[in-house]
Structure 1
């Protein structure tokens, strides 16, 4: 049952107001507080079960035996529990441990680059005064409409001329130049913070970089950590970038290494789908853990009011 909370005390019809003649008051504003019902919980359970089915199927295949894989007789819910598959995947001819380390190097480097550059650029667009700043910001936002496929070939030619192909640099260095979406997040967050903070710091003799480092940066942690989570999620599972720029197997990340597991099967036999699904779980679990640990910062990232930074 919904609870009704009045936002203002109702006035009697025809009540005399100060400095005016009697007139009918407007209806009081009413706030409805939603309360879940058994039907709500039942709907959420059904939808959650439907959305969780692919993940359960992945776990079922990962725990299947080689005989089940050869017979292609998989079930949605696990009927076998071969936990040794999680250790067997590291015993193949592929360096799975190295794949994990490569993914960590690329992802952490990208996160650092995005957090550093997005904070500085977003703060500059929000606080610094410069001719044409708003027009430049619109141009930056407009780059979000350019498909990545259009710039893929020019970028590859550029990195090839720099000698960066088959290195981690094409996957990490561009993140130190931020991207339009992250700049927009930081700019909106900073623009809602009181200007009096900057003015008081300037009176004390701080410049723009000092204001950012000592005052803004501590308040920007919620949005910067949210940007870090977004960046980590994207780069941890990125397949296209490593496929284009990396040639050596020892430099490939896990997202690309999982695909290589499909080539380790015997000729004429189906790929070891149980080991492929184990690799997929290794790709998924870190992201679930990161989101679980960082969800508080995602909720605090109130870009509409910027209140999270001044709590």
Structure 2
């Protein structure tokens, strides 16, 4: 035993030690410069949002706020446009879209990873291939389909497609599930659970990081979606905030500057919820290790 331990100890001593990264003043200086460059547009938006109407008409904006008209955040709801309704519509569309994507992506991805069926791999390749189709190509056929269904000027074209998942989310779930031990399914089958029972009681809790990540991705897309509502919605009472903000620029008289301070307030209302959602869900994004699948069993 002593003769075997000696070579092992020598190899351990010869192994190079991993050095911890130590930040230098140059590192912090570089990070500060990059952070300043990235946050300057956000600060500028806040400066315009807090500006007075006289500053807007004169166009004398500054990056650092010189005025603090906090009443602009309440004035935006008092315009002739139903900004409060815009905000509520965005919440409804986004929440239902997130629910649809999470439910459908989890089930479809689990099926591709665990179920055995002839042609499953070919079908999965077809699903992945749809990611290469530009969205602009399917706009007109989708509009004709939803028009024939009578869904134009309703929330249905913006919500219902999310209950059929998409290729990227299916790929995420499939890769995550394929790395989880199959013995979990076999043990559950021996206890009498079917595929849906296994997914609901075992896989669904373990898929929490990737499903929350899918929810964040979907919420980010639908909350700021401009093209979809522009195509399918006609009434102002049904428009989301992303489309309603554009309408605020058209409320001024001819020859008069748009109320950019109120427009920027609407932009902040669009940005702040996404910042909060990312701050609360960033740990799940970091845990979403699709290469090893270890996040689900932590």
TM over 0.5: yes
CA distance in 2, matches of 1:247, 1:9: 75
CA distance in 2, matches of 1:11, 1:127: 42
TM-score for both structures, normalised by structure 2: 0.95
**Aligned counterpart for 2:15 among listed residues 5, 28, 34:** 28
3-state SS of 2:289 partner? coil
CA distance in 2, matches of 1:238, 1:9: 60
Structure 1 match to 2:96: 109
TM-score for both structures, normalised by structure 1: 0.91
CA distance in 2, matches of 1:29, 1:201: 45
**Paired residues for 1:11-22 under 5 Å:** 11=11
Deviation, structure 1 residue 37: 1.7
**Paired residues for 1:142-181 under 5 Å:** 142-181=129-168
Gaps of 5+ in 1: 1-7, 13-26
**Paired residues for 1:252-263 under 5 Å:** 252-263=239-250
- Is 1:264–2:251 an aligned residue pair? yes
Higher helix share: 2
**Aligned counterpart for 2:63 among listed residues 76, 91, 108:** 76
Deviation, structure 1 residue 299: 1.1
Deviation, structure 1 residue 32: 3.5
Structure 1 match to 2:24: 37
- Is 1:229–2:216 an aligned residue pair? yes
- Is 1:121–2:108 an aligned residue pair? yes
3-state SS of 2:18 partner? strand
3-state SS of 2:19 partner? strand
Structure 2 match to 1:212: 199
CA RMSD between the two structures: 1.4
- Is 1:291–2:278 an aligned residue pair? yes
Alignment CA distance shift 1:9-1:55 (3 Å): farther
Runs of 4+ in 1 over 2 A off after TM superposition: 8-12, 27-33
Deviation, structure 1 residue 29: 5.0
Deviation, structure 1 residue 103: 0.2
By relative contact order (CA 8 Å, sep 6+), the higher-ranking structure is 2
Alignment CA distance shift 1:203-1:69 (3 Å): same
Aligned residues of 1:9 and 1:28 also touching (Cα < 8 A) = no
- Is 1:134–2:121 an aligned residue pair? yes
Gaps of 5+ in 2: 1-7
3-state SS of 1:129 partner? coil
The count of aligned residue pairs is 291
Deviation, structure 1 residue 197: 0.1
- Is 1:59–2:46 an aligned residue pair? yes
Structure 1 match to 2:4: none
Structure 2 match to 1:186: 173
CA distance in 1, matches of 2:185, 2:258: 60
CA distance in 2, matches of 1:31, 1:241: 51
Aligned residues of 1:110 and 1:176 also touching (Cα < 8 A) = yes
Deviation, structure 1 residue 51: 0.5
3-state SS of 1:202 partner? helix
3-state SS of 1:135 partner? helix
Deviation, structure 1 residue 30: 4.5
CA distance in 2, matches of 1:150, 1:51: 34
